[in-house]
Structure 1
Amino acid sequence: MCRVRHLSHKRGLTAWDDNHGMDGEPAKTTNLFPGGGGMAARMRAHDWSATVLGPAEAWPAALATLVGVALQAAAPMALYWGPDLAILYNDAWGALVGGKHPGALGRPAREVFPEAWQELEPMFARVLAGEGAVEVQDQRLVLDRDGTPDEVFFTHTLNPVLGADGRAAGILNVAQETTARVRAAAGLIESEERFRSFAENSADVLWIADPAGGRLEWLSPAYERVWGDRRELVMGDLGRWASLVHPDDRARAFAAMPRLLSGETHTVEYRIVRPEDGAVRHIRDTGFPIRDAEGCLRHLGGIAQDVTEEHAREEALERRIAERTAERDRVWRNSRDLLVVVGVDGVFRAVNPACRTILGHDPAEVVGRSFQEFVWPEDDVVTRTALSYAATDDDLTAFENRYRHEDGTPRWISWHTATEGDIVYAYGRAVTAEKERAVALHEAEEALRQSQKLEAIGQLTGGVAHDFNNLLTIIRSSVEFLRRPDLAEARKARYLDAVSDTVDRAAKLTGQLLSFARRQALKAEAFDLVAVLRGVAEMLDTVTGARIRVVTELPDAPCFVRADRSQFETALVNMSVNARDAMDGEGTLTLRLACGVGKPAIRGHAPAPGPFAAVSMTDTGSGIPADVVGRIFEPFFTTKEVGKGTGLGLSQVFGFAKQSGGDVDVASAPGRGSTFTLYLPQVDAARGEELRTVEPDAADGGTGQRVLVVEDNVEVGRFATQILEDLGYETT
């Protein structure tokens, strides 16, 4: 497509003006860069001394003159000057080179157009060699104008600018981009073929009409399918076409014709009545002017689309929208819960009628006012925090607060919110009654707990009274027999042994009660649990019997605690006896130790980080029912048969753990055995050294020694004083 014409008959350009001399003379600075365009201002501000052209004041008159001409010209113009062909250009030419502007100013052409230099350089060389001007029609170049190589076309002339020696000192370039025209011309045939194929296969009706005579010149084949009419009947006869338009729509359809004739593109919708079956179809007809290269209106074109199905879908959608809108309005009106729309500024935009029922306020009184006018003062902070969170997060937000009822009392509302843009949609459920029921339930539960405590105390006192009555019966009976003067020494010894054994049993019972009440005097000492548990494990074999296998899982490193060692061992025995009975004498008992652990929340008590030593005992027994687990540590509570347990063993474990600063937990399920875990505070290894105890020397007698007796029970004090005096002590 590119045509190059050598204009050898043209002479070179020699510039004159009132402020310049002949070519080769220095230019004056006055009006060197005239004009108010962007390039004129840029050239005036440019540091030309840093370029190959040198200071602008020293430029040849021809160069200065042509620069002034170019800056004031509307056509794209550029000057290539000197051996390096440095570029100077006006605003219009800068628009042609895209991203190369303004960096091209003052730079050599080779650097500005490296990607097209192979095509440009021969033409520049011919002009500089004196062959005259060169005109190029639709020259194809691949230019990187905006970061991506692009195929473009230019029609331009390259005119030599003669210097003082009569040789070409530069080149004046006048350019015009013809890319759009060249591409349009190249694609015309292909476009026509595509249009023909499109028209023949399109589901829409394509038409062309004569604007002067108002006659249809061409219709695409889809006409017969859509209109249900034969094309030859309507060709050249708009009356036939008009007769098919629904009578109610003819005025609207013909009203578009003047606008088309005036050169506007216009779309109109109308209905047609098909002659073959009387079916009504909806048509969307878009008409547009078809002009020649000079812009004269030659034809009217159009595309008529059958949009019947689209109309049906729109009508169905409108019905659904209307139905859903009605449903939403019914929900809004009839909801028993509070529905509000509030801005992120806290101002109510809409409130449903439930506001009157729940809070006693008329919705019209609430809309337009801030929530802070209604929220309960103590809940202002939590409400503002929730609103702020909802405003910055589209996820669902849930919180509770209180609003002031119209009568001045608070009402609890449980909110769920969702945000879209700067609007918060909130659903509020009135939970005041639930809150009141919860408080009442808490009070009832607290009363039940107090009742259970009284019941436990009654059971405890009854059990203690029963056991001590049995013990006192033995003691009283033995004492009565000991008073008989004719009592044989053998029988006297038997009754004395009975009294002594009974007293021991009473002391043990008292110790268990004190342990549960956490009032016993513990002898705390630091000891290594690992060593103690190894020794206890051997003892447990005897306690549990031959059919129960005892398994120990103990760490290698020592683990020190500070507690009463005797009470600790007693607690282990009590737990093992409880496990033995749960396994009915046969199974596996696993003893484990974990050091440096935290104490979890147990029976409502807060957890503690520790460190704690956790001694656990796991059996394979029958397990404990859920309704019984909560009572197993109560004194005298037992599920065993009469005579097979006092119900004080686990109470001792509980009391010892609590008094030692720890706790005891149980995990059990029927048929899966039980695990009892005893938590004791762990101490450093340095504090775990065995404490040496110094046993006092036993005195042969109390002669010469005085003892201070302190006792709150007068009878016990007198008895102790009498015994001490019988042993030779003096008492105070």
Structure 2
Amino acid sequence: MSTAEAFPNGGIMGERMRTHDWAATPLGPAETWPQSLRTALSIMLSSAFPTYLAWGPELTSFYNDAYIPIMGDKSSSLGRPFPEVWSEVWDTIGPITKRAMRGEASYFEDLPLTLMRRGYPEQTWFSFSYSPIRDETGEVGGVLCTVHETTERIQAEAALRESENKRAAILEQLPVGVGLVDPEGNIVLSNQILQQYGLAKIPSRDPIQGEHWRGYTPEGQRLSPSDYPSARALRGETVVPGVDFLVTLPDGQEIWTRVSSAPFRKTAEEGLGAVFVVQVVEREKRTEQALRESQALLQAAIDLIGLSPYTWNPVTGALDWDARLKAMWGLPPDAHVDQEVFLSGIHPEDRPRVEAAIVQCSDPAGLGIYAVEYRVIGIGDGIERWVSTHGQVTFEQGRPAAFIGAALDITERKRAEAALRESEERFRQFAENSSNTLWILNFATMNLEYLSPAFEPVWGEPREGVLGDPSRWSRFLHPDDRERARRALERVRLGEISTEEFRIIRQDGIVRWIRNTFFPIRDAEGRIRRAGGIAQDITRHDGRFVYVVDAEEATRRGLSHLLRDAGYKARVFSSGKSFLEAAPALAAGCVVLDIGRSGAGGLVVPRELKARRIGLPVIVLGDAKGDVTFGVQVMKAGAVDFLPVPYGSDQLLAAVASAAASTHEEDEQNQEAGRVRLRIAEMSEREREVLAGLLAGRTNKEIGRDIGLSPRTVETHRAHVMQRLGVQTLSQAVLVATSAGFQAPSPGPNVPQGSDKPET
């Protein structure tokens, strides 16, 4: 039998089956198909129910016209393997198909499947059955799938549930009791607040509840139950704003409520129901009397803070001001005010802003809020004042109808804000131009909130990399100094001010010594919330700084070029006064002072440096005017060298090099003394006691007797002391310790001189 004869009908899919090239499929030409397949296809094509047939081991696909909408935009799947057609859901339907091919029928209801039938993932639901179809041999030849898509129903049910949940959620969120009443007066829906009243029916339909719910007119007359709001709503009336009821609750407590109601009908076929709202007004009743008292208190508060309420009629422009507000405009209490007077007192620079705020608050499309701060020039007294005004416009029929607002004189606040800004600006300029690093630490976060620009050249990093990183600051500290810095911060938490010296290690490996003053910063309540600090770089430099003091610009410029070309860091000062003001904060170096022809009168700089004990050696350049004793006067004034004019460049550079070398030598001595002090500080208390005894000239036995130790133990401590100081003889230990400033008790009667032989 030919394909055309086999499927004479069957609609669109019947025609497709007749024209399909079946010889190219695993099933082969239609003439060779078994009768069982032909019969199944005939039933499928004749069915008005969406049906799908998968036949043979390859599950070749067939489906009828009713199944076409389920396919969506998929290309024709006729003759393709079932797993290929529905590959996106084969993980779900594949096992079902395998069971059917083993002879097991299946039925599923509202099974969720995500299909790709319109070019995107689509959530769908289906009810279907998979039935095995047996061939002539009695074996299962294919699977017949009858399918019903339930996506629309599932989505509609979900939407309904969501709607009902939203309605229930909305009812539960309302701060009042809400109920829905059927035509017989039964409460069919209520929120939890209404359920607390224990109502099954509205009071007008329940005689017992009618005694517990007593309604009153505004004049205090008792209402008949037939005039209760819900009863009237069931007759088609709307009762708003409502009726006041004195309600007796199930626990016997009495409260005042206000009940409103309106007719309600779900559908045209249903009888008339009602919705009613119960609002507790107990507080309202109780506060009616207190309202008058509160108004008096409000007026007292207004007077206390200097607030001036006022009104404005947007239609007529009329203003109602009190005496305090008129005084802000420099007007007497009895002065007439209108919109023109109001605007005339506003500072010319601020008037456009005020007029714009008036236009904005008068726009019905906006919120009607008026809030602006501006200056006023007193009309009668000419005094400038700052005024803050806030108000609200009310609208009627889309037009501004009334305005009520309040004004406050904020002149003192503005002055304080200006003073604060000025103070902050002074601090900013000081911080940005200071050679010391200023910092502020937040104790709550342990973050640095502020670092002055001086941080970057000392620490060798940009400030941005440290601000906001709680750990970065501590990582700079030398490991041996971290605990000391931490303790200093803890003392600040307790309100103490302390100064510590510690080392930092920059990323480039350079070690610098810092002297830091820690101090607490308190908030408005006096609580210590932050720590502040002033960090000074006290690292001794290599003496390459040269400070040129010369009143003549040309000479200053020449000296500066000469020194810089020689590799020095030159800084010039135009007068001795400006130099002496900066001298305490300058790094180590030397001074080149050109006194010109001023003679001994120009030696103020070395004398002042000597008197203040500022270790900057001074080289004086000047005209001795033939006085051979002038050089002696220069040296007595505190200078380290004198070069009479004219002098050679080599002479000056040699003098500077000599002064720099002395500075470097002193710096090394100071650094070595500092290292010794650190090593002594690291000693145990016993070791320091032994060192003190050695400096006092005592023997081991005498030291042991003084501090309660045996001579052998003293000998052990003595060896540790020598090792820590890095010396081998007693005289070396005495020299090193005394050069570091270690103080020992007065020497006893026996002071051994000690030899330079190594200690054993």
TM-score (norm 1): 0.36
Rg bigger for which structure?
1
TM-score (norm 2): 0.35
Question: More relative contact order in 1 or in 2 (CA 8 Å, sep 6+)?
Answer: 1
